Chains A and B, each alone.
Chain A
Amino acid sequence: MKIVVCVKHVPDATADRTFTEDGNTDRESVDSLLSELDEYAVEQALRVAESGVDADITYLTIGPDDAKDALRKALAMGGDSAVHVSDEDIEGSDAFGTSLVLARAIERHGFDLVVCGMASTDGTMGVVPALLAERLGVPAVTHLDELAIEDGAVTGRREGDSATVRVQGTLPAVVSVTDRSGDARYPSFKGIMAAKKKPLETLDLADLGIAPEQVGRTGARSAVDTAAKRPPRTQGEIVADDGAGGVGLATFLTAKKFI
């Protein structure tokens, strides 16, 4: 079974992230790493491979040169090979451009199963898995807390907008998994060493038959007008409980008309 796991190299979500002047995510000022939410996708792919399925796992990412770090991190957790799509014309792509590049790279590689995280920690839209499925013409079994691969189908549990549903789609398929799907493993020292020897292929837009104007800022279908830092919240009154902390809080809430 050919498994492709899509991963993203993102600015550290615990740092102070910011924008460049032209409204894109600033990837220079903050250290980047493998998106935490993608670690769950890596983990689930590895668990499928460990469940007795004869699987070949390839990680796929798009990004500048240092996005390779995300691939090496994933390879250190396990898996077989990686594909890095890098082209300066991709910069500024929206979810449509991103999903086009990913879909072409996945088609080129071949796949039975594509595994994604539920969203990136920077863009946070969470729509790329659905767009990938739409482009690839395969089922999107997305937002899963739990999944199982059996008899050529993927079955899972999804917390939808108003109900919890059990869903099933036949392979080939795109799945996305949530941060509740199971804790991701840490790479072992041996894994880190082994990752350095695993094959990593680099592709550009021409390799994928994509014209520059289909992606990047030119191909994007929406534009940011303004990006303003919210004024930081200012700390109000902090009191130590002297035995009447609840009463004091009630007085505050009454003044604010919540009581």
Chain B
Amino acid sequence: MAEILVLVDHTDGAVRKPTLELLTLARRLGEPSAVFLGQGADTATEVLGRYGAHKVYVVDAPEVEEFLVTPAVDALTQIAESTSPAAILLPSGPDGKETAARVALRLESGLITDAIDVTADEDGPVTEQSVFAATYQVTAHVTQGVPVITVKPNATAPEPAPVTPAVEKWDVTFGPASAAVKVLSRAPRERSDRPELTEADIVVSGGRGVNGAENFAVIERLADALGAAVGASRAAVDAGWYPHSHQVGQTGTQVSPGLYLAAGISGAIQHRAGMQTSKTIVAVNKDEDAPIFDLADYGVVGDLFKVLPQLVEEIERRRG
């Protein structure tokens, strides 16, 4: 069966959910092999096997942490040249996309980024993408070389398919370009008890109407009652009320949860591009003319500082 390379996204061996989604998608195309860069492969191997990785290629070299992107490009290119995979899947993010592009250039292959679905066709993988601020759905395929595809989080639900992976250690020869950009310091994203924005099934977001950093507690309380992640509009982030890592929109994170609840967000195109593929959308806004209501499956025209606390109270009451 054709081998599919999947680049693992992890922090010290803790594998992130989008990687499990990639393994799940890779099984539609062939037999997944995980490419693990850095430290912690021992921890990661079990979970990678549980989601169907027949092989785990481990590159435990300090360069991977010390330099930006290019060591991963060297590693993935060399593994691809020697294994001749039928496709290479990576997570969509600045690191994943840049790695993918450079690997594709070196392999003289085609590249598709930000796929929201990948299916198998006779001639290879077919991707689905959401474009023009999520107003169009595009299917495409790579026409040259090994298809290199980056996939957005939540493209599919991770499904286990346990195997015991064969672990192969790789010695990668790093070229001079791999040391081009030095990582001076690294601050891993703060982990909270809430689900991650890209992975959550429910997202509760606040915007300009929240009117202050301290008021985001109202958004957080509802998020916690629903087991949701917290999002913020660009206006709220630019105002310094909530960290940029929570920004939903064209230039922030693009989410597609089961439920998206927008509070005090008008719904500018910038924001809509990041959330309008959500399955159910709920809006709470004082302004009945806010464009967000055009997208909403349910909307409340009212004061979020009254509606949200009442909703939290009602959720708690219903749950007894």
Contact = CB atoms under 8 A, between A and B. Distances in A.
B11 A222 contact: no
Contact of B180 (A17, A37, A99, A138): A138
A108 interface: no
Contacts, number: 263
B311 A225 contact: no
B69 A227 contact: no
Interface stretch (B27-35, B53-61, B100-108, B166-174): B100-108
A64 B231 CA distance: 39
A225 B276 contact: no
Contact of B136 (A13, A19, A137): A19
A222 B141 contact: yes
A127 B319 contact: no
Interface stretch (A152-160, A185-193, A196-204): A152-160
Interface in A176-230: 178-180, 220-230
A221 B111 contact: yes
Contacts of B145: 221
A131, A222, A259: residue with the most chain B Cβ atoms closer than 10 Å: A222
Contacts of B16: 162
B131 interface: yes
Contacts of B294: 233, 235
A134 B181 CA distance: 12
Binding site of A, secondary structure by majority: helix, strand, loop or mixed?
mixed
Contacts of B95: 160-161
Interface in B124-167: 126, 130-145
B181 A159 contact: no
A167 interface: yes
A226 B131 CA distance: 12
Contact of B184 (A23, A131, A167): A167
A143 interface: yes
Contacts of B69: 130, 140, 142
B91 interface: yes
B79 interface: no
A80 to B, nearest CB: 28
* Contact residues of B: prevailing secondary structure: mixed
B94 A126 contact: yes
Nearest to B182: A168
B96 interface: yes
A159 B245 contact: yes
Contact of A127 (B68, B101, B141, B187): B101
Interface string B280-298: 1110100010000111111
B306 A245 contact: yes
A238 B284 CA distance: 10
Interface residues of B, number: 91
Contacts of A225: 126, 139-141
A19 B139 CA distance: 13
A222 B138 contact: no
A240 B302 contact: yes
Contacts of A107: none
A159 B104 CA distance: 23
Most buried by A among B100, B137, B245: B137
B185 interface: yes
Interface string A230-256: 100101111111001111111011101
Nearest to B68: A167
Interface in B14-28: 16
B235 interface: no
Nearest to A228: B137
B101 A131 contact: yes
A124 B102 contact: no
Given A95-B111, A137-B177, A222-B112, A124 B186 contact: no
B114 interface: yes
Scoring B126, B132, B244 by chain A CB atoms within 10 A of each residue's CB, the highest score goes to B132
A127 B111 contact: yes
B315 interface: yes
B244 A180 contact: yes
Contacts of A229: 135-137
B62 interface: no
Contacts of A125: 97, 101, 111, 113-114
A133 B114 CA distance: 21
B202 A226 contact: no
A163 B91 contact: no
B135 A178 contact: no
B93 interface: yes
B275 to A, nearest CB: 11
Contact of A161 (B94, B114, B269, B296): B94
Interface of A: 13-14, 16-19, 23, 37, 94-96, 99, 118-119, 121-122, 124-127, 129-131, 133-135, 137-143, 145, 155, 158-169, 178-180, 220-230, 233, 235-241, 244-250, 252-254, 256, 258-259
9 contacts: A94-B110, A134-B101, A134-B102, A143-B98, A222-B111, A226-B139, A239-B300, A246-B307, A249-B311
Given A162-B189, A258-B258, 4 more contacts: A127-B100, A221-B144, A235-B293, A249-B282
